[in-house]
């Protein structure tokens, strides 16, 4: 279906959603009553052919599927089957009654289910496209505001730093200025993350050894783990095939996940990075035995500006998931028994 037509249909559906349920059901009930009356010859002077009546019974099924999706289509098929039952229980007679085949039941339900599923899918696709358009507009607005605010914040921070240099560290004003300077840095970091999240991300894909990327990340992040007293370990599958990825972007994701795991661990904690091939996918797991992520937050942590850390901007995992999804992959979180969290990154292996 053409996007413009789909958007018009979705706009009509959006307005129709506010119509009370009885007014939605009434046309279907009236149609069923009319067809059933024709079928039983209750309407004088109207005696359509049995083949036409068979086809008319599909109309309420189609209408229910269009209005209520697959649930409505299946329910209407069940009602039509109930009304059509006498035709399977008696043979054709001279009085004009016509028999029905049991295959008709299958067609009723198949028709209702198919129409409903197609309608549900089209609604979801149209809603997804409109949500993406709204997010794109919000992203542009957020990027513009962040860009305009960044320069004043940087200027304020620079002037605070100059004022600090004129004071001694034991001066009470020095500590107050230091608090203001740290808050300026935090706002500046938040604005920077907002711009990166709103900006379109282009990928430079090339065949890459995922294990090699992870080894680089381990080398870079090793000193941070040692400083925090964290044991950094790896279990890398040596039989992984090359994967088409953007090395710079994916390294950013790996670094962010590993750094989060280190920060979540107590002293003498353990962070394990593992890779494994599963059918046509490469799985990368970053696990720790730290404070973990409560079950109710395991989906929310990927939302922009949501953070369980006091000093976090809440953008790291949101940007990471966005990068992974641009690679047609998935980034998920689950609990690590008996304690801690496991972040699993799934990348598809694309065959040439």
Q: What domains are there in the chain, each with its CATH number?
A: 1-200 (no CATH), 206-348 (3.30.565.10)
Rounded to 5 degrees, what angle do the CA atoms 265, 266, 269 make?
Answer: 70
Least trusted range by pLDDT, from 117-126, 132-141, 326-335: 132-141
Handedness of CA 243, 244, 247, 249 (dihedral sign): negative
Give the separation between CA 251 and CA 213, rounded to whole angstroms. 6
Give the separation between CA 95 and CA 29, rounded to whole angstroms. 27
**Quick check: 234 and 260 in contact, CB under 8 A?**
no
**pLDDT, tens digit, 9 for 90 and up, residues 12-50:** 555 555 667 777 788 888 888 887 777 766 656 555 556
**pLDDT, tens digit, 9 for 90 and up, residues 80-131:** 888 877 666 655 443 444 455 667 778 888 888 888 888 888 878 877 777 6
**Quick check: 201 and 326 in contact, CB under 8 A?**
yes
Give the separation between CA 203 and CA 159, rounded to whole angstroms. 39
Share of the chain above pLDDT 70, in %: 77
Residue 40 or 254, more confident:
254
- The per-residue pLDDT for 184 is 83
pTM: 0.55
SS3 content of the chain, % helix, strand, coil (to 5): 60, 10, 25
Query: Residues 204-223: what's their mean pLDDT?
Result: 91
15-23: long-range pairs with CB below 8 Å, 24+ = 16/67
Query: Residues 161-177: what's their mean pLDDT?
Result: 85
Check whether the bond before 274 is cis (ω within 30° of 0). no
Pick the closest to residue 327 from 264, 261, 266, 252 (CA basis). Answer: 252
Give the separation between CA 340 and CA 222, rounded to whole angstroms. 20
Pick the closest to residue 346 from 301, 299, 282 (CA basis). Answer: 282
**Quick check: 98 and 69 in contact, CB under 8 A?**
no
- The per-residue pLDDT for 96 is 46
Q: Strands (DSSP E) along 111-222, which ranges? A: 206-208
**Quick check: 253 and 277 in contact, CB under 8 A?**
no
**Alpha-carbon distance values, 25 to 12, 62, 113 (Å):** 17, 13, 18
Pick the closest to residue 86 from 48, 52, 57, 47 (CA basis). Answer: 57
**Quick check: 333 and 341 in contact, CB under 8 A?**
yes
Instruction: List Cβ neighbours of 250 (8 Å cut-off, separation of 6 or more).
Output: 208, 210, 213, 323, 327
């Amino acid at each position: 279906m053409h996007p413009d037509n789909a958007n018009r249909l979705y706009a009509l559906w959006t307005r129709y959603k506010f119509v009370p349920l009885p007014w939605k059901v009434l046309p279907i009930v009236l149609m069923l009553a009319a067809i059933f009356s024709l079928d039983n010859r209750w309407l004088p002077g109207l005696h359509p052919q049995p083949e036409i009546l068979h086809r008319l019974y599909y109309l309420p099924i189609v209408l229910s599927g269009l209005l209520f999706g697959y649930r409505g289509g299946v329910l209407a098929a069940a009602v039509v089957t109930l009304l059509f039952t006498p035709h399977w229980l008696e043979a054709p007679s001279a009085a004009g009654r016509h028999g029905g085949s049991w295959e008709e039941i299958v067609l009723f339900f198949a028709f209702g289910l198919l129409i409903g599923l197609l309608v549900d899918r089209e609604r979801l696709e149209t809603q997804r496209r409109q949500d993406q358009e709204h997010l794109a507009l919000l992203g542009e607005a957020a990027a513009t505001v962040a860009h305009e605010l960044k320069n004043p914040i940087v200027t304020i921070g620079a002037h605070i730093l100059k004022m600090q240099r004129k004071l001694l560290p034991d001066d009470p004003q020095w500590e107050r200025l230091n608090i203001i300077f740290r808050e300026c840095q935090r706002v500046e970091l938040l604005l920077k993350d907002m711009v990166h999240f709103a900006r379109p991300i282009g990928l430079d894909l090339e065949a890459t050894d995922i294990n090699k990327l992870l080894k680089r990340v381990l080398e870079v992040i090793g000193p941070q783990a040692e400083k925090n007293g964290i044991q950094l370990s790896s279990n890398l599958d040596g039989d992984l095939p090359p994967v088409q990825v953007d090395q710079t972007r994916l390294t950013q994701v790996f670094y962010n996940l590993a750094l989060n795991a280190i920060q979540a661990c107590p002293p003498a904690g353990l962070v394990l990075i593992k890779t494994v091939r599963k059918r046509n996918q490469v799985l990368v797991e970053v696990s720790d035995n730290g404070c973990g992520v409560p079950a109710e937050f395991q989906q929310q942590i990927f939302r922009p500006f949501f953070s369980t850390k006091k000093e976090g901007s809440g953008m790291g995992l949101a940007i990471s998931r966005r990068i992974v999804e641009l690679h047609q992959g998935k980034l998920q979180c689950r609990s690590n028994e008996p304690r801690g969290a496991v972040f699993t990154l799934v990348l598809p292996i694309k065959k040439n």
